[in-house]
Structure 1
Amino acid sequence: MTTQTRRFTIPEGYSFPIHRLQRVLRDSSKQPLVLVACGSFSPITYLHLRMFEMARDYARQQTDYEIVGGYLSPVSDMYKKPGLLSAKHRVNMCNLAAEQTSSWLMVDPWEAFQSYQRTAVVLDHFEHEINDKFGGVATLEGEIRPVKILLLAGSDLIATMSEPGVWSQADLDHILGKYGCFIVERAGSDMDQATDGLARWRPNIHMIPQLIQNDVSSTKVRLFLKRGLSVRYLLPSPVVTYIEENGLYTEDNPTPSPRPSSSDVKGE
């Protein structure tokens, strides 16, 4: 099914964010690229934001891509992951982080405010919004080009794609075959081991080493908050203030319901 024929549900009041999408390529020899990070972001950390910066450096130095936008796509509440705060708070925190610490990142709430959506469908949604509806981006000479959509993820997430039965083969082929991904090294994850079993899609998998090790995770941040410890300088300052003002992560989360039957796995 193509993005032109796939029907996408539209949450009430939803509009796709394009206010920071670069409309014209700076270098006409490059291929326009948009990075999409899917995950819980409960809460968003500096490492989530840093991954986009590492990916942009990699794209500029190692590829023929020019990044024209980056998107955070928080997962739906229906994912039922332990520690998953409500979509309203997670989207608000992502917006604070993107708008106040970056000049090119955006938050797309499409996935967050509806039923659970597989990563393959989320990427199709971006393809539809940016290329089918928006029409791609232009070169300095006026040529219109479609934008390449790539998944941005940590090596801990990509490692699950090598585990039998975790992701469906159809979804893997769609995500890694049709789109591809930028994989950022995460502390404690073996980059080579993370891609075992994914050899057939290797040309579409770009491995990005983490030159300055950072093992901050949302899980560790939630543990700090429950223990009454400071998380300043682990998260963007406006996100810390939001958490404090709303009293978030101070109590244990209720026992989560089982995840949807889909084999899709989302990151933090």
Structure 2
Amino acid sequence: MAKDYIHENTNFEIMGGYYSPVSDHYQKEGLAPSHHRVRMGELAVERTSTWLMVDAWESLQPEYTRTALVLDHFNEEINTKRGGVMTSRGKCRHVKVLLLAGGDLIESFKTPGLWLDDDLHHILGDYGCLIVERTGADVWGFLLGHDILYQHRKNVYVIKQLIYNDISSTKVRLFVRRGMSIKYLLPNSVIKYIQANGLYDT
């Protein structure tokens, strides 16, 4: 969906996309240990995508890493250390790093104490954000009402869901815990890994 949006509405050329699992120091109930989440991400993309990858750096950090610092990590590795990437036209260019997020995550920007204003300015101003609409999330209304988001609106891309999909990792974990089928919700290799390692059973 995000890839289609970029092709249809921007002049960007997609060079790659990274899943960045949080470390075990991110205190969210129900998350599997980070090494399992990294491996499931690898299994999910290895046969289904030529451009999606998993980066384990965030998962290996000794403390919770703020999103702004994770984006800095990607910028450092890709643009500073490697000097950018080779485009399809044979030129080496710096890449524009963007955060891809669901509308529900964006609405968390208004939660007091959850996001630093400086981080939001850094994420939205220096990088940019692709926001996928989620069912029940009024992304446009929130963008208009949030001062920092609105200030950086030219660097924010809202992706409309053409086919509504309400699947979330939270719901998948709940289905597993309740003994319900998750076939067709995840690649078979990931389902087998969850079963083999007894993840989310309790």
The count of aligned residue pairs is 198
Length-normalised TM-score, structure 1? 0.71
Alignment RMSD, CA only? 1.3
CA apart distance, 1:137: 2.1
Asked if residue 85 in structure 1 is aligned to residue 32 in structure 2, the reply is yes
Q: Does 1:74 align with 2:21?
A: yes
SS in 2 for 1:210: coil
Residue type of the partner of 1:181? C
Distance in 2 (alpha carbons) for counterparts of 1:223 and 1:148: 36
For each residue in 1:81-118, what CA deviation from the matched residue of structure 2 results, as whole angstroms up to 9, or x when unmatched?
Answer: 11111001100100000112111110000000122111
Counterpart residue identity of residue 131, structure 2 = I
Q: Equivalent pairs: percent with the same residue?
A: 58
Whether 2:159 is the aligned partner of 1:208: answer: yes
| Structure (1 or 2) with the greater helix fraction | 2
Structure 1, unaligned runs of 5 or more: 1-53, 252-268
Shift of 1:142: 4.7
Match of 1:31 in 2: none
SS in 2 for 1:152: strand
Q: Against the structure 1 CA distance between its residues 224 and 134, is the aligned structure 2 distance closer, same or farther, given a 3 Å change threshold?
A: same
String of CA shifts for 1:12-50, please: whole Å, max 9, x gaps: xxxxxxxxxxxxxxxxxxxxxxxxxxxxxxxxxxxxxxx
Cα deviations across residues 204-233 of structure 1 (Å, max 9, x unaligned)? 100000100000111111111111111111
**2:97 aligns to what SS in structure 1?**
strand
- TM-score calculated relative to the size of structure 2: 0.93
Aligned 1:1-268 pairs, distance under 5 A: 54-115=1-62, 116-139=64-87, 142-195=90-143, 196-197=145-146, 198-251=149-202
Structure 2 segments unaligned to the other structure (5+ residues): none
CA offset at residue 244 of structure 1?
A: 0.8
Tell me the alpha carbon deviations over residues 224-245 of structure 1, each in whole angstroms, 9 at most, x when there is no partner.
1111111111111111111111
* CA distance in 1: counterparts of 2:121 and 2:190, whole angstroms: 36
Residue deviations 1:35-87, cap 9 Å, x none?
Answer: xxxxxxxxxxxxxxxxxxx1111111100101010100000100111111100
Contact 1:183–1:207 (8 Å) recurs in 2: yes
Distance in 2 (alpha carbons) for counterparts of 1:186 and 1:235: 19
Structure whose residues are more often strand by fraction: 1
CA distance in 1, matches of 2:169, 2:159: 21
- Per chain length, whose mean CA-contact separation is higher, i.e. which structure has more relative contact order (CA < 8 Å, sep 6+)? 1
